[in-house]
Structure 1
Amino acid sequence: MLLYIFLLLVVAGCSYSSTAVTKELDCVQEIMCSDPRTAFERLNALEVAEFEDSATMARWALMYSEAMVANNLAAPADTIVDIAVDYYGSHSDYERLRRAKQVKSMLQLCGDADALVCALYAQKEKEYMLYRERTERLRYIFAGAMLLFCAICIIVWQRNRLRIRNIQNEALVAEASSLREGLSRHMSECSVMESKLLSMLSRRFNVIDDLCETYYATQGTKAERKSIVDRVRSQIDALKADEGLFSEMESAVNECLGDMLALFAEELPNLKRDDYRMMVYLACNLSNRTIALLIGESVDVVYKRKSRLKARISASGCPHSALFLSVF
Structure 2
Amino acid sequence: MIHRFIFLNDSLTRATLQTSAGMIEKEYFRERTAFADYRMRSRRIGEAAAAVILLLVVAAGVLLVRQRMRLQRERYERELLLAGEVREKYRELVRQTEQTLHAENRMKGILATRFDIVDRLGKTLYERENTASGQAAMTRQVKRLIDGFAADGEMLPELERIVDIVHDNAMRKLRRDFPGMKQADIRLLCYIFGGFSPQVISLFMHDSVANIYARKSRLKTRIRNSESPERELFIALLEQKSDPCQKSDAE
Alignment of 1:255 with 2:161, yes or no, is yes
**1:105-184 alignment, distance < 5 Å:** 113=23, 115-184=25-94
Partner amino acid, structure 1, of 2:182 = L
* Matching residue within 102, 114, 118 for 1:192: 102
* Matching residue within 271, 288, 291 for 2:182: 271
Cα deviation digits, residues 201-246 of structure 1 (max 9, x gap):
4433222322355578x88xxxxxx759x949x8399639953442
Contact kept in structure 1, 2:198 and 2:212, CA below 8 Å? yes
Cα deviation digits, residues 245-289 of structure 1 (max 9, x gap):
42133122133245976886795555374x355324213311345
Higher RCO, Cα 8 Å, sep 6+: 2
Distance 1:249 1:324, change over 3 A: farther
**1:1-328 alignment, distance < 5 Å:** 113=23, 115-213=25-123, 227=132, 231=135, 235=139, 239=143, 243-246=147-150, 247-258=153-164, 268=179, 271=182, 273=184, 275-288=185-198, 290-291=200-201, 297-298=208-209, 302-315=212-225, 327-328=237-238
CA distance in 1, matches of 2:40, 2:147: 116
Partner amino acid, structure 2, of 1:152 = V
State the Cα distance separating 1:137 from its structure 2 match. Answer: 2.7
CA distance in 2, matches of 1:227, 1:315: 47
State the Cα distance separating 1:199 from its structure 2 match. Answer: 2.1
Contact kept in structure 2, 1:212 and 1:236, CA below 8 Å? no
Distance 1:265 1:292, change over 3 A: same
Contact kept in structure 2, 1:239 and 1:245, CA below 8 Å? no
Contact kept in structure 1, 2:118 and 2:146, CA below 8 Å? no
Partner amino acid, structure 2, of 1:243 = D
Distance 1:227 1:121, change over 3 A: same
Distance 1:235 1:296, change over 3 A: farther
SS for the counterpart of 2:90 is helix
Contact kept in structure 1, 2:107 and 2:162, CA below 8 Å? yes
- Scaled by the length of structure 1, the TM-score of the pair is 0.49
Contact kept in structure 1, 2:160 and 2:171, CA below 8 Å? yes
CA distance in 1, matches of 2:62, 2:213: 81
State the Cα distance separating 1:164 from its structure 2 match. Answer: 1.1
Distance 1:208 1:126, change over 3 A: closer
State the Cα distance separating 1:296 from its structure 2 match. Answer: 6.0
State the Cα distance separating 1:316 from its structure 2 match. Answer: 5.8
SS for the counterpart of 2:96 is helix
Partner amino acid, structure 1, of 2:91 = E
Distance 1:212 1:127, change over 3 A: same
Paired residues, number? 207
State the Cα distance separating 1:156 from its structure 2 match. Answer: 1.4
Cα deviation digits, residues 162-191 of structure 1 (max 9, x gap):
111111111111111111111121121122
Instruction: Give 2:6's aligned residue.
Output: none
Instruction: Give 1:3's aligned residue.
Output: none
SS for the counterpart of 1:178 is helix
CA distance in 2, matches of 1:270, 1:164: 56
Partner amino acid, structure 2, of 1:256 = I
Contact kept in structure 1, 2:121 and 2:142, CA below 8 Å? no
Contact kept in structure 2, 1:253 and 1:261, CA below 8 Å? no
Q: Which runs of 5+ in 2 are unaligned?
A: 1-19, 239-251
Q: Which runs of 5+ in 1 are unaligned?
A: 1-110, 220-225
**Structure 1 vs Structure 2: percent identity of aligned residues?**
18
CA distance in 2, matches of 1:196, 1:187: 14
